[in-house]
Amino acid sequence: MVRIEEGFLNIHGLRIYFKLYNVGSRIDLVVLHGGPGASHDYLIPLAELSNYGINVLFYDQFGSGRSDEPSDFSRYTVDYGIEEAEEIRKQVFNDKVVMLGHSYGGMLALAYALKYQDNLVGLIISNGLSSIPLTVQEMRRLIEELPERYRNAIKKYEQIQDYQNPEYLEAVQYFYKQHVTRLDELPEPVKVSFEYAQKRRTYAIMNGPNEFTITGTIKDFDITDQLHKIRVPTLIITGKYDEVTPRIAELMSSKIRDSRLVLFEKSSHMPMWEEKDKYLAVVRDFIFELYNKNK
């Protein structure tokens, strides 16, 4: 039986929202959302893993979703996110866990593993990245493949930093439709997460005005040359049309010795919605394999 627990944890003086799908097993999954600034809601399909005996913990990171935001600007870093994740792991499970990070959360999970991999059973990097500069470079390549109208609008208004111009915003949305989620209608949980990202200041502080214009505190973050230090089994997930392109996933997989790469042929950045059943099966089977190996 699944017991849903939710509320706030005191993490380094901030109220951090969490939601735990607790089945009382010894298989624990901690989920790190993207953004930053968004909420965990769009990753809610992963809650279904609790039906298979996996405890699933979601939380809204600092300055994201329903959680408090730091008043100290110096906290808006990946390093702070690492320590937040570790404190949450200790407070909720105090045991080794599987960590799944999506998008920016995947980068955060990789950084966490470099410092705290002894606390991990395994790692799942879903549509994630290890280098912001490389990811921007790849997204710029995707922009060059857009129809001329949208490509020119992006270049024109970025030159004058008019990120709110209707023509620019239309081009951004077209890019998102190709490379973030290709669904005809956004599911409500995805809308909720996007709304949080727009109204919380964390996305602008850490990321920037949009997915491919990264001007915030993470703009130079790159840990690719350290990935060889990760020893835990790692599953890397990417979508054929992903804004964080398969090239990035392939590079990460080549650096992490005990890793496997799964490409979702019909997905962009959100295979947990675009190919939900396959996504959940891939994640579930990987987690079961980890725990069976560690029996």
C-beta of residue 181 within 8 angstroms of C-beta of residue 274: yes
| Active-site option among 242, 253, 259, 268 | 242
Give the separation between CA 236 and CA 99, rounded to whole angstroms.
12
| Active-site option among 40, 102, 179, 269 | 269
C-beta of residue 109 within 8 angstroms of C-beta of residue 123: yes
The C-alpha angle 37, 70, 230, rounded to 5 degrees, equals: 65
Give the separation between CA 172 and CA 270, rounded to whole angstroms.
17
Residue 222 appears among annotated catalytic residues:
no
| Active-site option among 50, 67, 103, 126 | 103
Q: Is 105 exposed, middle or buried (0-12, 13-18, 19+ CB in 10 A)?
A: buried
Residue 269 appears among annotated catalytic residues:
yes
Closest CA to 98 of 128, 122, 117: 122
Could you list the active site residues? 103, 242, 269
